[in-house]
Amino acid sequence: MAEFFAMGGYAGYVWGSYLLTAIILLALFTVSQRNLRRRQRELEALRALAPHRRERRRVEKEERA
């Protein structure tokens, strides 16, 4: 088992690569989650500023009638 983890003398490169990859993937996931939450809040704020499309269309139809 120790030979497997030693990776034939290349353990530092192999395990270091795995660690670096895991850190990068975790960072990408974290940044994506933050952006998603920020965009969702921004969308909610924009929707609060203007009436919904369906509501606006209904009002426009009533005004024409």
Tens digit of pLDDT at every position of the chain (65 positions): 888 888 888 999 999 999 999 999 999 999 999 999 999 999 999 888 877 666 767 777 777 76
User: According to the model, what pLDDT value does residue 37 have?
Assistant: 98
Q: How many domains does the chain have?
A: 1
Tokens matching residue 62: 């009533």
Tokens matching residue 38: 């920020």
Tokens matching residue 29: 């996931």
Residue 49 placed within a domain: yes
Residue 52 placed within a domain: yes
Residue 53 placed within a domain: yes
Residue 51 placed within a domain: yes
User: According to the model, what pLDDT value does residue 15 have?
Assistant: 93
Non-local (6+) Cβ contacts of 13 within 8 A are 7
Integer Cα distance of 4 and 48 in angstroms: 58
Residue 31 placed within a domain: no
By residue range, what is the domain housing residue 55?
38-65
Residue 58 placed within a domain: yes
Residue 16 placed within a domain: no
What radius of gyration, in Å, describes the C-alpha atoms of the chain?
Answer: 26
User: According to the model, what pLDDT value does residue 54 have?
Assistant: 67
User: According to the model, what pLDDT value does residue 17 have?
Assistant: 96
